[in-house]
Amino acid sequence: MTRRRWIADEVFGRHAALTGTHADHLIRVLRARVGQQFDIAAGLGLYRGRISAIADHRVEFELVEQLPASSPPQVTLLLAIIKFDRMEWALEKCTELGVSRFIPLIAARSDSHLSSAASKRVERWKRIAREASEQSRRRCPPEIRDPIRPKDAVLLPAAKRILLSESGEGGTLGQALLADEAASELILAVGPEGGWTETEDKLFRESGWIPASLGQTILRTETAAIAATAIALSQLQVLAGNKS
């Protein structure tokens, strides 16, 4: 039977702990008992952990054995701010797929009220990403950054930077990924409802971003984010396997 995985709040020597509401879920909902074993992501390692102590808002584990853990491709999702319920759904699903970094983008066509409130949602987004990471058995949650604007986004470094565009001028996302099989780190930029403005499109392209499409249909922002993440991670894993 597959053991449930938890991401430790604290790590000390050969021990780790869950704290606060994180621990409360294990104690009250899953009826944790001393001696039970779970997979524990602690720091950069993955371990088989045995519950050694349970207290109010705290569960401690003895890290019994280090487990093998693969290193997934590094994909950053630069996602234009949309309605928060849809944005959070995209964050949850892209976390499950394996995105390594999530950066909210204040695009020209992002709602101004949502954009001004986005920085206050970062902690909530981190909780969503953590829960999705544990559910999908990831070793660690994606990094969640504060919102940025296009003028700063275009300067983000990566081996390959792709601008998801409805124009289709640069071919498909799959073709763009195959064009440079050596790329080990990728950023995907997904625009808001209504697409990129001409100014934004020009800014990204003149900064070296590669335009690519997801086909002939027009997708909602959250759908495009999930589809692009799935395609990119699948393609990068295939390319990595071919090189090994």
| Sign of the alpha-carbon torsion through 217, 84, 227, 161 | positive
CA–CA distance, 21 with 35 (Å, rounded to integer)? 21
CATH number belonging to the domain at 5-67, selected among 3.50.50.60, 2.40.240.20, 1.25.40.340, 3.30.450.20: 2.40.240.20
% pLDDT > 70, the chain: 93
pLDDT score for 244: 46
Range name among 84-88, 92-96, 115-119, 164-168 with the lowest pLDDT average: 164-168
pLDDT score for 1: 53
Q: Are 16 and 8 in contact (CB under 8 A)?
A: yes
Backbone angles phi, psi at 222, to 5 degrees: -65, -35
Burial of residue 34 (number of CB atoms within 10 Å: 0-12, 13-18, 19+): exposed
Which residue in this structure is represented by tokens 């996602």? 79
Fold of 74-243: Alpha/beta knot (3.40.1280)
pTM of the predicted protein model? 0.80
pLDDT category of residue 100 using cuts at 50, 70 and 90: very high
Burial of residue 77 (number of CB atoms within 10 Å: 0-12, 13-18, 19+): buried
pLDDT tens digits for range 56-86: 999 999 999 998 877 778 899 999 999 999 9
The residue ranges of every structural domain in the chain are: 5-67, 74-243
| Sign of the alpha-carbon torsion through 237, 169, 157, 92 | negative
pLDDT(217) > 70: yes
CA–CA distance, 175 with 188 (Å, rounded to integer)? 14
